[in-house]
Amino acid sequence: MQLFVNDLTVIDFSYLCPERGMVGESWIVDIILDGRLNEQSMVLDFGRVKKQIKRIIDAAVDHKLAVPTEHSYTRVNHNEQQGTLWVDFMRPHGGSIHLYCPADAFAFIDAEAVTMASIIDYLRAVIKRELPENVDAIQLQLRTEEIPGAYYHYTHGLKKHDGNCQRIAHGHRSRLYVTRDGVRDTAIEQQWASTWRDIYLGSADDVVPIAQLKRSAQAQAITEQSHVGYSYRADQGLFELAIPRAENYLIPTDSTVECIATYLAQQIKQQHPHAHIQVTGFEGVGKGAISLA
């Protein structure tokens, strides 16, 4: 007997990629459970699937940075006293990425690359440990939202957030709608989607000199010319990041979706001062903010 739940959850996270750098993603999760009927004549109660398994999946990957531990670029070092990790991704030609964060900010994937297949293997192992004996197997499907127009991948961190959004390197794959005088302007949408392709959206308040970061030995050679440094303390601990300047975009506010939509509306308004601008910005799948200018 098989039990299925489509659209169980959306995992919003980022991962390290040799070619693209730090990539924000939003993947929709579908699940099928293979098993025998229990004393309630069920494989598993739908309520338990939607709450327990969703909680397991979210805790394992959602709002984290997925790190391919088997890739030759990856270096991980522990600060045992602080419960904090240095993660260095040693891409060449000034493209290295360096983090110092609480351990819970990372999902360590035992693979050379973070892919849907490697994340499925990781999640299947985590979920199976907490399922009842009558459940024999798990099938997971990860998929992206179908977006006919412009979209972009971004990573950010929200230091003021009281939940997991405070983690400095989590992200989203987000569509973008822009109207000018009530008419959708796909050219402007594509312009910003291209500008923000695989971008880190940082807040100006969080920028610090590279020399102030708690850098690992692998990060000692980076400079202000090659990287932007971020540091902030939130409820979960100290979060620090050094990201290549070419993969960074600085905004003057926090990087909530409300602030992102407002920033875009203001920037577009400057280009079209006599037009009525509306920006619908998305944070992953099915949620976002609308800003007018």
What are the domain boundaries of the chain? Answer: 2-292
pLDDT tens-digit profile of 1-32?
A: 677 888 999 999 999 999 999 999 999 999 88
First to last CA, the chain: 54
Q: Please enumerate in sequence order all residues whose Cβ is within 8 A of that of 3, keeping only pairs 6 or more positions apart, or say none.
A: 32, 33, 35, 42, 43, 44, 46, 49
Q: CA-to-CA distance for 9 and 57, rounded, in angstroms? A: 8
- Write the DSSP symbol of residue 53: I
List Cα–Cα distances, 168 to 23, 91, 137, 236, in angstroms: 13, 20, 35, 11
pTM above 0.75, yes or no: yes
pLDDT tens-digit profile of 89-142?
A: 999 999 999 999 999 999 999 999 999 999 999 999 998 877 766 666 778 999
**CATH class of the domain defined by 2-292:** alpha beta
- Provide the token pair at 64: 């984290």
pLDDT value at 55 more than 80 = yes
Residue 22 forms beta bridges with which residues?
Answer: 16
